[in-house]
Amino acid sequence: MPKKTDIAIAGPSFEDLKQTNAHGAEYWSARELQPLLGYSQWRRFEQAIERAITSCKESGNSPEHHFAGAGKPITGGKGAVQVVDDYHLSRFACYLIAQNGDPRKPEIAQAQKYFAIQTRRQELSDQAAADLERLELRKQTAEEFKALSGAAQQAGVQSKMFGVFHDAGYKGLYGGLGRDAIKQRKAIPDKDNLLDRMNATELAANQFRMTQTRDKLARDGVRSQAQAIQTHEQVGREVRAAIQRIGGTLPEDIPAAEHIKEVEKRLKSATPRLTLDERDAGGLTGGKPDKNETP
């Protein structure tokens, strides 16, 4: 089963696709990774790979240790086998591809979050890794808030009613409490953005509420302001009910977290590794020097 932070958009997860080469080093097939990162065209994905190779050079690491050209047999509809271009990629190469991918793709956003957390877990303390997860969730929730506002506008919500629309989602999820009532219950200052004081669990619940509302507005073809507001509250209630069914803590009972700006300050003050360790730098060679290199 994929871990909480694993990339699993559909089908196999990132870790499920891992293979081992003759050097005993882990690697991933670019062709298998392509759909996981949301690319339907190899040409587009190869452009991301090329940008990643450039980034690898600029980081002072050898692309030959992380991107190996390969051929992959593909069986056609009539059983004919065709060998297509492929790459064997180290974990570091996969990380660079995610960083150089199309940021508009939700799969790329998820991959960037995954690699950011996994990479920094090796560099920082568990507390810092938790901080990073919360910061990434906060950034994603901010983007989802903007996307939901756009969907609400398309559904007929007037600008002056955006506050009412967003409050409806909170009321559904928080058992009738709107934004101001939630802040009062949690003793959050009026000047603070409510989302800035949510922990990772609460942020994830609200992000899910937003994505599901946006999808439902589009799926149901909502074109009425009143119906859009009602839909948002309904989705909030459904998410709340799901939390109750699995025995989770209701969002209004989750204490306010420290301000997200304090988390950012703490992460910026942490000192990350600037270079890969010997094994990671070796990538596809398993940390063993090339024949042409001096041990």
- With helix as H, strand as E and coil as C, how does the chain read? CCCCCCCCCCCCCCHHHCEECCCCCEEEEHHHHHHHCCCCCHHHHHHHHHHHHHHHHHCCCCHHHCEEEEEEEEECCCCCEEEEEEEEECHHHHHHHHHCCCCCCHHHHHHHHHHHHHHHHHHCCHHHHHHHHHHHHHHHHHHHHHHHHHHHHHCCCCHHHHHHHHHHHHHHHCCCCCHHHHHHHCCCCCCCCHHHHCCHHHHHHHHHHHHHHHHHHHHCCCCCHHHHHHHHHHHHHHHHHHHHHCCCCCHHHCCCCCCHHHHHHHHHHCCCCCCCCHHHHHHHHCCCCCCCCCC
Interatomic CA distance for residues 293 and 159, integer angstroms: 64
Residue 107 contacts residue 36 (beta carbons within 8 Å): yes
pLDDT of residue 292: 40
Q: Where are the domains of the chain?
A: 15-124+272-285, 127-269
Weakly modelled stretches of the chain, pLDDT under 50: 1-11, 272-274, 289-295
pLDDT of residue 79: 59
pLDDT of residue 295: 32
